[in-house]
């Protein structure tokens, strides 16, 4: 995606720093929470396994996570209505542009699901969001989206976990099969080999 942060600017695992941050927040002894998620396997990824990994990782810094796997329809209803305080969900882009991810910000669709409104958001982030929504210059857009990502890394309610690959099977004799990051497979390019 345009504006994605390079690998060298990604967070790394730092348990000591995590414990420091918990202590600064008043949770030096950790706390207990419940992780809600759909109990399914999606695109080859078993969500129960990943939820157990999240649970084990957070236990290392004193956060006790109770797992709440749910039928996918129930899980999504709770998530979409804002009843899920701590969840493991997914988001595939609706279109290939970083503007698609602005829905995660305050006052937008997914931000509102976690009660992140313009009224309780940092004005700096609101300014970045508003500028990113209308900016047309490519270089400026890159800077804006990178600034938004850096803000979210430090203070946001989201923690990206995984962008899994997707497997596509097709039969011999088919040509034009090229993976498309939005539609998975662009069927308009498919044909039979002569």
| pLDDT averaged over 10-residue windows placed end to end, the chain, 194 residues | 88 94 97 96 88 97 98 90 88 84 96 94 98 98 96 90 71 82 78 83
So what's the pLDDT on residue 128? 98
3-state secondary structure the chain: CCCCCCHHHCCCCCHHHHHHHHHHCCCCCCEEEEEEEECCEECCEEHHHHHHHHHHHHHCCCEEEEEEEECHHHHHHHHHCCCCCCECCCCCCCCCCHHHHHHHCCCCHHHHHCCCCCCCCCHHHHHHHHHHHHCCCHHHHHHHHHHHHHHHHHHCCCCCCCCCCCCCCCCCCEECCCEECCCEECHHHCEECC
Given this model, what pLDDT does residue 184 score?
76
Record the tokens describing residue 60, joined without a space. Answer: 């290392």
CATH for 8-90, among 3.30.450.40, 3.40.50.2300, 3.10.105.10, 2.120.10.70? 3.10.105.10
Q: What is the residue extent of each domain of the chain?
A: 8-90, 94-163, 166-194
What pLDDT score does 86 carry? 93
Question: What does the pLDDT look like over 52-106, one tens digit per residue?
Answer: 999 999 999 999 999 999 999 999 898 888 888 899 988 877 788 999 999 999 9
């Amino acid at each position: 995606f345009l504006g994605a942060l390079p690998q060298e600017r990604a967070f790394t695992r730092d348990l000591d720093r995590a414990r420091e941050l918990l202590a600064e927040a008043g949770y030096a002894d950790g706390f207990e929470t419940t992780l809600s998620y759909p109990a399914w396997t999606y695109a080859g990824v078993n969500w129960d396994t990943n939820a157990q990994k999240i649970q084990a990782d957070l236990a290392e810094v004193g956060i006790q996570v109770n797992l709440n796997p749910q039928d996918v329809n129930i899980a999504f209803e709770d998530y979409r209505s804002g009843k899920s305080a701590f969840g493991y969900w997914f988001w595939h882009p609706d279109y290939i542009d970083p503007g698609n991810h602005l829905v995660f910000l305050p006052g937008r669709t997914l931000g509102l699901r976690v009660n992140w409104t313009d009224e309780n958001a940092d004005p700096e982030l609101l300014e970045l969001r508003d500028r990113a929504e209308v900016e047309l210059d490519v270089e400026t857009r890159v800077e804006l989206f990178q600034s938004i990502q850096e803000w979210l890394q430090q203070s946001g309610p989201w923690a990206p976990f995984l962008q899994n690959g997707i497997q596509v099977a097709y039969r011999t004799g088919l040509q034009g099969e090229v993976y498309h990051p939005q539609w998975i497979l662009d069927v308009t390019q498919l044909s039979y080999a002569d």
